[in-house]
Amino acid sequence: MAEESVKILEGSIEMDYKWAPGSTVGRFLTALRDQKELLAVRCPVTSLVYLPPQGWSPYGQVKMDHFQTIASAPRLKAGSIVYRAPWNLPAGITPPYMYASISFAGADTELLHIVYASEPVLKSLRPGSPLSIKWKEERTGTIRDILYFEPQGAV
């Protein structure tokens, strides 16, 4: 039996990645980019409001297309302080930060995102702590148009 040799090639491969968000998520991302607005969608059967919006109701089993703007102030629901940077951490963010579930009055689901502040401020946060949105200056139509959430009054 002939001995096989393994060949290792050094180098890298780069590919453009494109994702079609569909009409529901596309409308959400467009509102982030163009109006700095959070859009949610209401289920016509259950009246549950989903943020971020989704096209199909998991409980009502119907298409959802009744959009509404969420204008309420964000509040921390729960979070975990992160001390190690993952490979995809947004530029300009350094640990520690909080990966958090963020609630809005008028929405029945939460948005998962980053809360960024000093470690003592992050440790002082409790469920219900008020937050504000830090928007990216040049928005492109992705969830990262929200740079992060910050505790209200944090310096």
Torsion sign (Cα): 91, 69, 56, 115: positive
Task: Tokens for 14, please give them.
Answer: 């780069």
Instruction: Give pTM, 2 decimals.
Output: 0.82
Q: What is the pLDDT of residues 93-125, one digit of tens each?
A: 999 999 999 999 999 999 999 999 999 999 999
- HEC sequence for 79-146: EEEECCCCCCCCCCCCCCEEEEEEEECCCCCCEEEEECCCHHHHHHCCCCCEEEEEECCCCCCCHHHE
Question: What does the DSSP 8-state code read for residue 6?
Answer: -
Model confidence at 155: pLDDT above 70: no
pLDDT: which is higher, 38 or 60: 38
**Domain coordinates in residue numbering, the chain:** 22-151
Question: What counts of helices (H) and strands (E) characterise the chain?
Answer: 2, 8
Q: How would residue 154 be classed by pLDDT, with cut points 50, 70 and 90?
A: low
- Residue 17 and residue 40: Cα distance in Å, rounded? 26
Most confident range, picked from 13-22, 80-89, 123-132: 123-132
Q: Which amino acid is it at 21? A: P
